[in-house]
Amino acid sequence: MTIPCDILVFGGTGDLALHKLLPALYHLYREDRLHNAVRIISLARRPLPRNDYVKLAERHCRAQIARQDFDEEVWQRFSARLDYFPMDASQSGDFGRLARYLGEPGGLTRIYYLATAPTLFVPIANHLRIAGLVDSEARIVLEKPIGHSLESATAINEAIGAVFDEPQVFRIDHYLGKETVQNLMALRFANALLEPVWRNSQVDHVQISVCETLGVENRGGYYDRAGATRDMLQNHLLQLLCLVAMEPPAQFEAEAVRDEKVKILRALKPITGQDVQDKTVRGQYHAGKIGGQEVPAYYFEKDVDNDSDTETFVAVQAHIDNWRWAGVPFYLRTGKRMARRTSQIVIQFRPVPHELFNGGQVNQLLIQLQPDEHISLRMMTKSPGKGMRLAPVELDLNLAQAFAQTRRWEAYERLLLDVLEGDSTLFMRRDEVEAAWAWIDPIVQGWEEHFQAPRPYPAGSNGPEQANSLLAHQGRKWHG
């Protein structure tokens, strides 16, 4: 049972609130994880009566929650805790109204979830302070991206830090709430089998891919300003890289874990000058077919400039300058309108020192995050019949099958529960965000200085051909 609190969701009529946050809170309530005194208050500009908002929330929750998990009686009790407060988060006067509506805390912790445009983070924090709505127990949750550069991220962190102390700030990356992502730490630090080979003497290279078949959907206005680098590489992919590469923390505790992740980000070799052209690839999808259906080019998407040079694909060859990973390339790749939807981490091991049998291949560890969560280790074995013909066989851990009797938690359930419990292990610390931007900024600047335009690739493909060349000239290729 968590603490008694008010959970205030700014942007309460948006997709994130309706499709992710409210279903997650429903599940937590259904499993008796919420305190009896918890209130959930959605805030947005639409002038909706409370009953209309509850109906809106129910419609979206029914669509997002599996039928067997949606209980009518539970929903009635849960929705009784749900309220709606119409306000404009950019207007300071509306926060005075909010303060009067909320009244005195009376022992309740106030949690402010900013499911809004990043441009509203600082104004909302300042308005909350002026209205007297921030005390030492309050917490604020910020969605990515935190800024669009090191300078802007530092400015946001400074402004938020002037209102909330660092332990009160939860910078969320939903990828860190995925079961398989957390299994990375269990896989590495709870299995003596893998730890001795998790290093440059045994690992040839690492691939981290997050590929989507979707385009920009209704996010064209935001995405055209951000691009794949700021939207995905700076946060999701670098977070996954940190979990793959980090050293074992002294203990499984928030600051110890985050200390090790920051060390990795600071050990990333800067990509500058000519290296920007040699070790990075930008791409932008053009018209093509996905699932047999024609889809338009990026520059014809809603709210996207027709002459946009925003990248929808980026691939990077990164190197970590430390004892464990010196000389091992990390290939990072993300893109929209790709051939298939997948998020995966591939640890490619080196071949055996002496190849005794013809046709032998190197071992490979595949960690699949989506669409299915599973972990498999490719081993070489003898094919049935005469002779020593080898074939790869996968030792597979299918998490859905292994825990078939246990409902799989969604990422936001776990992360919201951590916020309620005050556990910041899976959230980004200020110096972590800024260290990531410090590595990203020179790449973006290098593209601008060298006029490196995005390479075209047809929707439904695996990205621009140049991304394959990034690995091919070293005798490697992308998995899948």
451 close to 63: Cβ distance less than 8 angstroms: no
Distances (CA, A) of 300 to 211, 290, 295, 336: 21, 16, 10, 14
Sign of CA dihedral 188, 314, 201, 275: negative
Residue 236 is a catalytic residue: yes
d(CA 153, CA 276): 22
Q: Is 144 annotated as a binding residue?
A: yes
Active-site residue among 27, 236, 286, 374? 236
Q: Which residues contact 377 (CB under 8 A, 6 or more apart)?
A: 363, 364, 365, 366, 394, 395
d(CA 39, CA 81): 5
Q: Which two tokens stand for residue 332?
A: 């990072």
Q: Is 336 annotated as a binding residue?
A: yes
Q: Is 217 annotated as a binding residue?
A: no
Q: Is 174 annotated as a binding residue?
A: yes
Sign of CA dihedral 157, 158, 160, 166: positive
- Exposure string for 407-416, b = 16+ CB within 10 A, e = fewer: eebbbbbbbb
Q: Is 31 annotated as a binding residue?
A: no
CA of residue 280 relative to chain centroid, distance:
21
Q: Which residues contact 186 (CB under 8 A, 6 or more apart)?
A: none
Q: Is 20 annotated as a binding residue?
A: no
d(CA 19, CA 13): 10
Binding residues: 45, 144, 174, 178, 212, 231, 336
Binding residues for NADP(+): 45, 144
Active site residues: 236
Binding residues for substrate: 174, 178, 212, 231, 336
